[in-house]
Structure 1
Amino acid sequence: MSAMLSAADLADLFLRFLLLSLLSIGGAMSTAPEMHRYFVVERGWLDDAGFTSSIALAQAAPGPNVIFVPVLGYQIAGLLGAGVALIGILLPSTLLSLGVSRWGSSRRDTLGVQAFTAGFAPVTVGLLLATGWVLAQPFIGGGAQPYGALALIGLTVLLMHRTKLAPIWLILAGGLAGAFGLI
């Protein structure tokens, strides 16, 4: 439908996504019914088929779940709409994360921040182990090269436990190992 929206409509779109970002506990998809009500029912910027196909297209693509937001924005107002929607949905959570990180870093020596960090460490480790277990299942069940994959998983756990290496490097190493057929 991609129409040219007025500056006021773009501002409204931006503010709508700012608000939805603050309500999207559980991910942006949790606000899809409100997006539908606003874009289809109230504003008429999309019809039901356009709304549904935008979400389906974004969900079929690899990447984060929030990718449907710029697709909706694009359907409403082209590239400018995609940018406005994406910035609107990401800005509050990004600023909140940065603010909390900086606040916590500046107070890392306080008892409350130490207790909070110590309390979430086992939760984080548990979630990582659960994710690792789920991802290892195809290899444990007789994948093409189970030993290489299990060795990579073990090495990753060891490096995460013994070093301060950023996880992104281990993810990259795993991706490269898979790309070269090592696992």
Structure 2
Amino acid sequence: MIEILINLLRVFAPLSFLTIGGGQSIIPAIHHQSVEVHQWITNAQFLDLFALSRLTPGPKSLLVTLVGWQTAGIIGALVASVAIFLPSAILVYYLAKLWARYEGKPLIKAVEQGLIPVAAGMILAATGTILRAAEGGAWAWGVAMLSTILLLRTRVSPFLLLGLGGLLFAVVQPAA
């Protein structure tokens, strides 16, 4: 049990530094470490925990807490939570002071502009990880792409797209 707790710390503490601005960016790494490397959970369990973490209020890094809980119970949840939240909280505390001191300077503006495509790329990687883990095949990718296009080009409600996507899979999946 101690070895699992140490591994939870080793895996999630470094990932904590990538969660600044949101936990969405580390989903591929969480999946890779939890399912493929350490085999703490299965692909199906990952998808269930991912869905649960999205339904609950609070930070999206809550997925890590759920992985820790699934892996080592309440102690695992606590260790995983400390590992994912504490390092980034300390970093943000000191960065906020530094950021405020140099706010508006060209270097700060350049860093902010440079981080925009990085964040977008990490969110796209997270989307790809979830689509691969769900094993929905071409249907899932097609629905995701169509939904993205519709969201970018129209004012359609995301909830409507979620409902239609769910209905489509309810119809198509039994036939597959």
Range class of TM-score, shorter chain: 0.5 to 0.7
Structure 2 counterpart of 1:82, from 74, 77, 99:
77
Give the distance between the partners of 1:34 and 1:101, measured in 2 at CA.
Answer: 26
Amino acid at match of 1:43: H
Shift of the alpha carbon at 1:13? 0.8
Q: Gaps spanning 5+ residues in structure 2: where?
A: 113-176
Q: Equivalent pairs: percent with the same residue?
A: 33
Structure 1 counterpart of 2:46, from 29, 42, 51:
51
Give the distance between the partners of 2:34 and 2:83, measured in 1 at CA.
Answer: 15
Give the distance between the partners of 2:61 and 2:36, measured in 1 at CA.
Answer: 22
Contact 2:5-2:79 within 8 A present in 1 as well = yes
Residue 29 of structure 1 is matched in structure 2 by 24
Residue 61 of structure 2 is matched in structure 1 by 66
Instruction: Please tell me whether Structure 1 or Structure 2 has the larger radius of gyration of its CA atoms.
Output: 1
Q: 1:114 to 1:102 in 2, by over 3 A?
A: closer
Give the distance between the partners of 1:73 and 1:33, measured in 2 at CA.
Answer: 16
Contact 1:55-1:72 within 8 A present in 2 as well = no
Shift of the alpha carbon at 1:71? 1.1
Q: 1:103 to 1:27 in 2, by over 3 A?
A: closer
Give the distance between the partners of 1:40 and 1:14, measured in 2 at CA.
Answer: 16
What's the TM-score, normalizing by structure 2? 0.53
Give the distance between the partners of 1:45 and 1:62, measured in 2 at CA.
Answer: 24
Question: What SS does structure 2 have at the residue aligned with 1:63?
Answer: coil
Q: 1:37 to 1:100 in 2, by over 3 A?
A: closer
Residue 16 of structure 1 is matched in structure 2 by 11
Q: 1:19 to 1:78 in 2, by over 3 A?
A: same
Amino acid at match of 1:95: I
Residue 88 of structure 2 is matched in structure 1 by 93
Contact 1:17-1:89 within 8 A present in 2 as well = yes
Give the distance between the partners of 1:58 and 1:42, measured in 2 at CA.
Answer: 21
Residue 164 of structure 1 is matched in structure 2 by none
Q: 1:58 to 1:115 in 2, by over 3 A?
A: closer
What's the TM-score, normalizing by structure 1? 0.51
1:55-103 Cα distance to aligned partner (Å, 9 max, x none)? 1111112222222221111111111111111111111211112223455
Which structure is higher in RCO with an 8 Å CA cutoff and minimum separation 6? 2
